[in-house]
Amino acid sequence: MIVRCRRNRPLAAALVALGSLAAAAPAHAQLFDWLKKDKDSQDVWAIRCMTLSGPNAPDIARRYAEALKKAQGFKPELVRVFDEAGGSSLYYGEFKRRFDKRTQKESFEPNPIPTLEALRKLSLGGQDIWPFELATMSTLPAGSGVRPDWLLRGASGYWSLQVAVFYDEGEFRERRQAAEQYCKLLRDQGEEAYLDHGDVNSIVCVGSFPKEAIQGFQRKHPLTGIVEFTERIVDERMLALQKKFPHNLHNGVTFYEIRRDPRTGEKIRDPHTSFAVKIPRPEPIAPAGG
């Protein structure tokens, strides 16, 4: 078992192919019913000006927020601070991401580029300090009904097992809500499920395990003499969970990579398997200007 991360890939099947989901893990057919009914549940986007971590993060983030509210050209009511597990983030604005089926392109309403550039160039306190120079577009964490103990960042242990990834694609814009629904489903079934929202992906994991759950091994290649390193799961409980949840689902379906057998040329469909991920921990960040 090699610990790895996966990048986004196109879907190989319909987003609500619940039969594939049921084949990969215990599930109910009602899992994504709400997606068909709630067309206003799309992610709300904003400009994430900065993210701080550490015990003083909430206070520092709010001081920056007050300074931004007083800055010329910015609307105080669009400045918001959200406290999440391990840190605080300062956001500005509110934007809707649109998808054009004809052109297959995305856009935001209103256009965030002028505001984004203004924030990156903004200097506060009359000093040559630009605290928001790394500002970027991000989904707002508002409206989430996730319990704090479901967040992967707050889980104990060192490793967890990723069993699903959700991402916006095409007309599907509810990756955060879908991940939360799947996490709730697993929790209702008695699983120790967690979720983590990134800027692009939302992942769902099960279990929490110590660092020793995965061990590194090395061997010398018999022909080349090169020492090869691999990491494998050795924890019996984690191996049992991987057997129970063998796939890393993509937007609720089993995803396959197509490769050719180098000897026969035959096409082989390899399903994406569940895999170990490190439980993220906040890293202290010293804010510009203190």
Q: How far is residue 65's CA from residue 60's CA, in Å, rounded to a whole number?
A: 9
Q: Which helix (H) or strand (E) holds 269?
A: strand 267-271
Instruction: Report how far residue 276's alpha carbon sits from residue 161's, in angstroms, rounded to the nearest whole number.
Output: 5
Which ranges of 38-174 would DSSP assign to H, the alpha helix?
Answer: 57-70, 113-121
* Residue located via tokens 């439980």: 279
**Per-residue pLDDT tens digits for 76-113:** 999 999 887 668 899 999 998 887 778 878 888 999 99
Confidence of residue 12 (pLDDT cuts 50, 70, 90): very low
Give residue-wise pLDDT tens across range 43-85: 678 999 999 988 889 999 999 999 999 999 999 999 999 887 6
pLDDT band with cut points at 50, 70 and 90 for residue 37: very low
Q: For residue 110, say if its preceding peptide bond is cis, omega within 30 degrees of 0.
A: yes
Distance CA 273, CA 224 (A): 30
For the chain, give the number of residues: 290
> Could you tell me if 26 and 256 are in contact, meaning their C-beta atoms sit under 8 angstroms apart?
no
Mean pLDDT of the chain: 80
Can you give the pLDDT at residue 30?
45
62 token code pair: 């709010």
At residue 218, the pLDDT reads 85
Give the tens place of pLDDT for each residue, 235-287: 999 999 999 999 999 998 999 988 888 888 888 888 999 999 999 876 544 44
- Tell me the per-residue pLDDT of 177-208, one tens digit each, with 9 for 90 and over: 889 889 999 999 999 999 998 878 999 999 99
pTM score above 0.85: no
Coil/strand/helix, residue 212: helix
Q: How far is CA 180 from CA 44, 160, 177, 253, in A?
A: 16, 17, 5, 16
Q: What is the pLDDT of residues 275-284, one digit of tens each?
A: 999 998 765 4
Q: Is 252 left (phi over 0), alpha (psi -120 to 50) or beta?
A: left
Separation of alpha carbons 289 and 286, rounded Å? 9
Angle at 139 between CA 93 and CA 209, to 5 degrees: 145
How far apart are alpha carbons 130 and 121 in whole angstroms? 6
